[in-house]
Amino acid sequence: MSTPLVVGIAGGTASGKTTVAKKVLTALSGYAVAFIDQDAYYKEMADLSPEERREVNFDHPDAFDTELMVRHISELKAGRAIEKPIYDFVAYARRPETKLIQPADVVIIEGILVLHLQPVRELCEMKIFVDAEDDVRIIRRLIRDIKDRGRDFDRVVEQYFRSVRPMHMGFVEPSKRHADIIVPQGGDNEVAIQMLVDAIRARLQARR
């Protein structure tokens, strides 16, 4: 297997990054695709109490184990499998089990700070930023965090204004300048996603 094409997909919270990544993955039938979500690489916080974990700024670069993430991406680029962590959003902690990720033709890395973190960004051959309006993102985040992550309304709103919004303005939004392609309207922009898929296919075919 040749060296995989590494595609970084960044954007604000609930902008549609995961939707875009999954649509790209589905469209690349015939190719092996490895999916790496940055959320899986939150630092281990087993030494903190549940109350202390809830107060961590999860949108700051320091919340992530970037060293491990970079090592894992490098291993995949070298054609070696990895054991990706699994993060439990309800418990604010990593699960004891891991997920085996095999080498692939394409490695998709998705997360809010993928384009901000230089060591990660430098491993990406294609850099994508998924954009969406702020009001759309906060509504999506409210629905997701309450339904899927066991949060309550007041908690989600408090966290948004305390850390999510400031970190978005400080780190996520400025990272847009590193993008090769910007996908407006998040995962609903079928035209932009198809153009992205076509660009990836062209890169892959050129390697054959």
**What confidence score (pLDDT) does residue 170 get?**
97
Class of domain 5-207: alpha beta
**pTM of the predicted model, to two decimals?**
0.91
- For residues 94 and 175, the model is more confident at 175
Provide DSSP, 89-125.
Answer: TTTTEEEEEEEEE---SEEEEE-TTTTTSHHHHTT-S
Question: What's the Rg (C-alpha) of the chain?
Answer: 17
In the chain, where are the structural domains located?
A: 5-207
Helices 17-27 & 190-207, crossing angle to 10 degrees?
A: 50
- For residues 52 and 35, the model is more confident at 35
Could you report the per-residue pLDDT of 10-40, keeping only the tens digit for each? 999 889 999 999 999 999 988 999 999 999 9
H runs (alpha helix) in the chain: 17-27, 50-54, 66-77, 118-121, 134-148, 153-159, 165-167, 190-207
Closest CA to 108 of 205, 21, 202, 3: 21
Could you report the per-residue pLDDT of 78-124, keeping only the tens digit for each? 999 999 999 988 888 899 999 999 999 999 999 999 999 999 999 99
